[in-house]
Amino acid sequence: MSKGISRELTWIVAGLWIALFFGWATDLWTITLLAYFLFYVARQLYSIKRFEQWMKGSTKVPYPPSSGLWGELSYLVSRKQRSLEKHADLQFYKSEQFLAASMTIPDAIISLNEYNQIEWFNKSAKKIFKLKHSDTGRKIETLFRHPDFIQYLKSKHYGKGMILQSLNGMPRVFNIKLFPYFKEHKLLIVKDIHELYNLAQIRRDFVANASHELRTPLTVLNGYLEVMIDSIEPSSTWQKPLEQMHQQSYRMQSIIDDLLTLSSMESETITGKQKQVNVPQILQEMHIDAEQMSHGRHSIDFKVDMNLALKGFEEPLKSVFMNLISNAIRYTPENKSIEVRWYHDKRGAHFEVQDHGIGIAQEHLSRLTERFYRVDTARSRDTGGTGLGLAIVKHILERHHAKLVVTSQLGIGSVFRCDFPNRAVVLLQDSDSESRDKKIPSRS
């Protein structure tokens, strides 16, 4: 039992004994007990009034009731209040610490509410967007009216940021990205990447220029090697060295071609308008090429939805499909099967190549799309790989807002899947319902 309840009971019992004694002395029992009851009720009402005024912060009652039950209740409320104030002070300190830290970050940070109104911003945002304290509460669209940004803001697809070549008259390159948090609030982060962008552009230009310069002398070298191979006797001691030189020069030519393709992908030089790409027709043609590349060493099975097309760039997509199919043929042992699938589900369209080859260890999967990265260097050279194929695939898929998903097990095989979004899917009109998921017959 708490001290407050004990004091209250003590007061009740003591008061009752006094009332009983007074009633016995005066023989006015009814009046005495009624007076005792009214006094007790009045005392409680007075304590309630003082407690209420104290809770409201009235200056007339600087301290709470201190007697009986209300004294105990006031003590508990005071203790809880001090605890809440301490917690609020701690949270306020943390929020102030976070805001102070955000002010020192060189990237521009703007917090937006669910209506895209500015809640707060740091010093970098104030400098870049020329914001004032009075701009708090205004919609970001009224202050930053770049059409690409407004489209990005309304799209609600914030996974990938956007690059702007200038911002508010500043001819610098900026990366802009929105991060959703806490009940549709958003954090707008603007990063100045001008120096990084220029360095990357210098690297891309160097690779492209060097590849172009190497292509001409390599073509001359290949020509002379072919003439020398054709002009010597098959039994000559120079036959094997010349063939090896020709093979390596051809491999260098393949690397240069892939470097030029990758450079064009990174420089975003895929020009023209996206158009409908008849993927089933492309895969029918590639099935013939795959059988010729395999020379009958593999069982290659194509299962294609004949009504499913894509909106995109035809030649780059052909490069993606052929890269994945040729990789499967290269790294699958003889007499093993390869399955190629083109299908559609609620998530979008999918191009999938499954082999039953050597497989890839898990630690290599995350680095497969890096340029010149090889799981097995010796085997890649033997099979003629350049180490750039999957890097090219990655960049082409990014231009189509698609992604590459790889799953693999050592000794069992691998699955390479390209996931295209629903907005890129085009369904072809075909009266023949049986044309869906058609299995293209083997031509081996």
Q: Is residue 441 part of a domain?
A: no
The answer on pLDDT for 363 being more than 70 is yes
Same domain membership, residue 126 and residue 61: no
Query: For residue 287, what is the domain's CATH number?
Result: 3.30.565.10
What's the pLDDT band for 218 if we cut at 50, 70, 90?
A: confident
Instruction: For residue 311, give its domain range.
Output: 272-427
Report pLDDT for 428: 83
Q: Which one, of 166, 157, 161, 191, lies nearest residue 177 by Cα? A: 161
What is the per-residue pLDDT across 54-80, written as a single tens digit (0 to 9) for each?
A: 777 777 766 666 666 777 777 778 788
Same domain membership, residue 254 and residue 234: yes
DSSP character at residue 426: E
How open is the CA angle 128-132-134, to the nearest 5 degrees? Answer: 150
DSSP character at residue 360: -
Question: Of 226, 247, 265, which one is at a domain's C-terminal end?
Answer: 265
Q: Looking at the 3D structure of the chain, how many domains does it have?
A: 4
Q: Is residue 310 part of a domain?
A: yes
What's the pLDDT band for 268 if we cut at 50, 70, 90?
A: low
Same domain membership, residue 399 and residue 297: yes
The answer on pLDDT for 442 being more than 60 is no
Q: Which residues pair with 404 in a beta bridge?
A: 418
Query: For residue 207, what is the domain's CATH number?
Result: 1.10.287.130
Q: Is residue 184 part of a domain?
A: yes
What's the pLDDT band for 342 if we cut at 50, 70, 90?
A: very high
Same domain membership, residue 420 and residue 365: yes
Same domain membership, residue 410 and residue 319: yes
What is the per-residue pLDDT across 102-145, written as a single tens digit (0 to 9) for each?
A: 788 889 999 999 999 999 999 899 988 889 989 999 999 888 88
Report pLDDT for 311: 92
Report pLDDT for 63: 66
Same domain membership, residue 52 and residue 13: yes
Question: Of 195, 223, 255, which one is at a domain's C-terminal end?
Answer: 195
Percentage above 90 pLDDT, the chain? 25
Q: What mean pLDDT comes out for the span 217-232?
A: 85
Beta-carbon count within 10 A of 80 CB? 10
Q: What mean pLDDT comes out for the span 147-172?
A: 85
Same domain membership, residue 182 and residue 247: no
Q: What mean pLDDT comes out for the span 165-193?
A: 88
Q: Is residue 290 part of a domain?
A: yes
Q: Which one, of 118, 124, 117, lies nearest residue 101 by Cα? A: 124
Same domain membership, residue 170 and residue 43: no
Name the pTM for this structure: 0.54
Query: For residue 155, what is the domain's CATH number?
Result: 3.30.450.20
Same domain membership, residue 154 and residue 112: yes
The answer on pLDDT for 382 being more than 70 is no
Same domain membership, residue 19 and residue 122: no
Q: Is residue 440 part of a domain?
A: no
Question: Of 195, 227, 252, which one is at a domain's C-terminal end?
Answer: 195
Interatomic CA distance for residues 131 and 52, integer angstroms = 46
Q: Is residue 434 part of a domain?
A: no
Task: List C-alpha distances in Å: 405 to 45, 158, 409, 419.
Answer: 73, 20, 14, 8
- Residue-wise burial string across 229-265, b where 16 or more C-beta atoms lie within 10 A, e elsewhere: beeeeeeeeeeeebeebbeebeebbebbebbebbbbb
* Choice between 264 and 390, residue whose per-residue pLDDT is larger: 390
What is the per-residue pLDDT across 21-42, written as a single tens digit (0 to 9) for each?
A: 888 888 788 888 888 788 878 8
Q: Is residue 313 part of a domain?
A: yes
Tokens found for residue 350: 């999918």
What DSSP string describes 294-363? HTTSSEEEEEE-TTEEEEE-HHHHHHHHHHHHHHHHHTS-TT-EEEEEEEEETTEEEEEEEE-SS---HH
What is the per-residue pLDDT across 229-255, written as a single tens digit (0 to 9) for each?
A: 888 887 788 888 888 888 888 778 877
* 96 in Cβ contact with 31 (< 8 Å): no
Same domain membership, residue 81 and residue 111: no
Q: Which residues pair with 388 in a beta bridge?
A: none
Report pLDDT for 111: 92
Same domain membership, residue 294 and residue 151: no
Percentage above 70 pLDDT, the chain? 89
The answer on pLDDT for 436 being more than 60 is no
What DSSP string describes 52-80? HHHHTT-TT-SS---SHHHHHHHHHHHHH
Q: Is residue 60 part of a domain?
A: yes
Tokens found for residue 123: 């010093």
Interatomic CA distance for residues 265 and 392, integer angstroms = 7
What is the per-residue pLDDT across 398-434, written as a single tens digit (0 to 9) for each?
A: 888 899 999 998 888 999 999 999 999 998 875 444 4
